[in-house]
Amino acid sequence: MWAQLVHEQVRRLRVGKGYAEAQLVFNDGSFLHFRHDPYTRWLQAWTPEDEGGFARDVVPEVVRFRLNRRHLEIWFRDESRLEVRLGAFGTRSQAKPDP
């Protein structure tokens, strides 16, 4: 399941002011960059020096996502879901499949 695979590869989550942008950073240095505000919603992969990277493999598997001040939620094509809850002093991640 993609949610579990992504959860195992995550190194950290960086969230911008206003909670409109976030970067989910993976162990190989690649990351997913999320943008979600009232006018825009997009996702892109970034990999160091165009070496491929885990983030590029994840993008086609993402069906939708939601980012707000409480959490980042990602739904995948295999019907699994990853929820990363945003805490006051950091983040806590939990991979959960949809029922």
As given in the structure block, the two tokens for residue 14 are 């960086």
Q: Which helix (H) or strand (E) holds 2?
A: helix 2-9
Place of tokens 């945003």: 86
> Per DSSP, what are the bridge partners of residue 98?
none
**Average of per-residue pLDDT values in the chain:** 85
Please report, rounded to a whole number, the percentage of residues in the chain having pLDDT higher than 90: 56
Residue 63: domain span: 2-86
- Taking residues 64-93, what's their average pLDDT? 81
Distance, CA of 17 to CA of 33 (rounded, Å): 14
Q: Is residue 97 part of a domain?
A: no
Supply the pTM of this predicted model: 0.82
pLDDT at 93: 45
Q: Count of domains in the chain?
A: 1
Q: Are 91 and 82 in contact (CB under 8 A)?
A: no
CA–CA dist 30, 53 (Å, integer): 6
Residue 91 inside a domain? The answer is: no
